[in-house]
Structure 1
Amino acid sequence: MNSNLYFIQGNGDAASEIRGIDWSKTPLGDPGDWPSSLKTAVQMMLASRFPKAITWGPEFITLYNDAFRPILGDKKECMGKPFNVIWQEAWSEIGPIAAKAYGGEATFIEDFPLVIERFGFPEQCYFTFCYSPIRDDTGKVAGMMDTVIEVTGKVETEKNAAILNAELAHRIKNTFSVVQAIASQTFRASADRQHLQTFAQRLSALANAQEVLLLGKNSGGPLNDVMTKAVTALNVADRVALSGPPIVVGPRCAMSTSLLVHELTTNAIKYGALSSSQGTVSINWFVDTAGGEKTLTLRWLEEGGPRVMVPRRNGFGSKLIKMGLMGNGNVQLHFHPQGLEAIMAAPLEQIQGEGRLFSAAAQ
């Protein structure tokens, strides 16, 4: 073994390859003359379990660790070869990114698509990687570190899930349409068509909530999207202002919130602020930690409509509103003369369900 390679530690295949190369015949020269910054970078790379490669000098001479080897596939004798030769089929895409690193600018990219040929045929792959500049002992950029992980399987899985979700959303909407048609036929002889219309609208609210769940990640959906769908379906989105942190809610909360906002909006159109051309509604929500438990509070406020009166009777819609965000009944209704105010709250853990986390912006 070359005594000048004393800094190469470990018994992995990559370390053995590095020891077996006559570096004096490469642009890097004898390892004894390598700058200490390169030696340190190589030591750190070989000690890492994360796929890493180093390119050095204007020739992009490459060294890599054992974790990087599977990314190369069947490519042979890559240790010590120029990076642009190893990945010549993709150099037009990654070359400019490498140039940025050599210019002193690190680049991080997620799910980057590349067509590579590592098994003898073109293959669409995806990588999340960072090209970071490495400076020599004088402070000048002399190379770069490629820290990379292949995410082809993850990206393909997400694509397939999106296709399946879209198909499932289509089928569920068809099912809701069938239920609506059955109801219409069943109550065709009824004199009270208003009940049928109300039923159809509530069914539509459920369908919209289901679409948000299916097209979102996992089985949850953004709270903002759930409420936007509900007010858009009633053609009043331009008069309803939404504000609050980005929060992903679980399926149960999405369903109950969609129906809740639908009922409040319907009532506002019939009797409240939205029955007047000047009336508006604001919906805002926030998270606090009162009592040591994270709680989501949602506030509905109507303004600019006719004078509000306390309703004399409570129908199904009123009962639905009083059930609150998660059916826990934690609702305060204030019939101010200038407009209805509804404040409802529920534990964030229940709101999100299945252990989802809310955005850092909500903290």
Structure 2
Amino acid sequence: MKIDLRSDTFTTPTPGMLEAMFKAPVGDDVFGEDPSVNKLEQMTADIFGMEAGLFCVSGTMANQVAIKTHTQPGNEVICDKLSHVYIYEAGGIAFNSGCQVKPIDGNLGRITAEQVEEAINPIDIHKAKSTLVSLENTANRGGGSCYNFIDIQNIKAVCSKYNLSLHLDGARLYNALVHKNETPKQYGEIFNSISVCLSKGLGAPVGSILLGTKEYIKQARQIRKIFGGGLRQAGYLAAAGIYAIENHVDKLKEDHEHAKQITAALRKKDFIGTIIPVETNIIIFEVKGRFTPKALVEHLQKKDIHCLPISPTQVRMVTHLNIKPEMVNKIIQIIDLI
């Protein structure tokens, strides 16, 4: 029995999701005539209290379309130095938008209003124009850490003061909502744009939704087309997203509990150093002593447990929809024997 903890992108559709996909009514989305895509876009926008949505094939595409729509070449984007948009999107901000990044040294992938204000460039012909602030919630490289909502509100106040747009990379936003007992509409009231991934913990095979105003999404739709993201009979994929939102959000609590159970087992071992506080479904821990990260990963792989070395000192494990309680028990038993 293979247990894949490398990422929550390894989820596969449930039987109910597959049935919904097979039954989905479809059309041509480039013509705006795929009823399942239209339903997913409007449904997600309504959930977040925003005007419109755009179905994209990936979180990276949604983020890159969002940034391009907010900016002009030569602008500057402010974000944490561990942000996915900065370190995991193949230089897309420079390539797609012609913008530079001002990375902030935050706390576990989270930045503060004070740091944002300090990072904003003055009006000066020698300086790039600060245009956009991008946050990530939960923060992947921060071990699935979550923002406190008051901190987001304070960052929004700074953005409003300096006329900057505020984007949210919400790849695992539903994990944060469940953990913090927050509502989607709280976020819709704050952010100018939000990307919401459907293919991680929610379990859909493909897709993210970009949310914003009707005018913003109209512009974003053209950018998506320029990026080669025009879709045809995408309703089969959209149906999976609809099913995920309607059926899998509450299951994220189980993922979080599984992560805490595995973390408790890791804490007992002499070769485990610092573990980033586990709030949601991501465990990032230091490996020391008798193992290197690579050696530990290889040892676990022989037991059919797959995880990732993400730095010279750290390993990452991610729980998700396909990780069942019996798998967690096996993981704990194997860790106990190491």
TM-score (norm 1): 0.19
Name the larger-Rg structure: 1
Where relative contact order (Cα < 8 A, 6+ residues apart) is larger, the structure is: 2
Normalising by the residue count of structure 2, what TM-score does the alignment of the two structures yield? 0.20
Structure with a larger share of its residues in strand: 1
